Amino acid sequence: MNTSALVWTIIVLALVAANLPFLSNRALLVRRLAGPKPLALRLLELCLLYGLVGLLAIALEQRVGRVASQGWEFYAVTACLFLTLAFPGFVYRYLYRRS
């Protein structure tokens, strides 16, 4: 797999992972809850999935070549990008009015 395909794979995976907490009513995508899932739990899942996607991206980067060291700015930008990718799921869950 070439580098361009790996980059697009990570972007698509991040898009799916960012929306999973808002599309699923299960805690950590495994345990069924008695009532509706609170927003705090959804945000915690979002942070955990951000970390998992980041670890997978580092593993794929290491497979291709040398892993570049990153500063805090890189993680701040990728966290904001992950939140931006989560926007469609948030809108669907909290802002979309069902008739």
DSSP at 5: H
Are 42 and 18 within 8 A, CB to CB?
Answer: no
Crossing angle for the helix pair 39-64 and 3-23, nearest 10 degrees? 170
Residue 99 pLDDT class (50, 70, 90 cuts): low
Cα–Cα distance measured from residue 34 to residue 63, given in angstroms and rounded to the nearest whole number? 42
What domain count does the chain have? 1
Cα–Cα distance measured from residue 66 to residue 32, given in angstroms and rounded to the nearest whole number? 41
pTM (2 d.p.): 0.90
**pLDDT per residue as tens digits for the range 26-68:** 988 888 888 889 999 999 999 999 999 999 999 999 998 888 8
Expressed as residue numbers, the domain containing 86 is 3-95
| Residue 11 main-chain phi, psi, to 5 deg | -65, -45
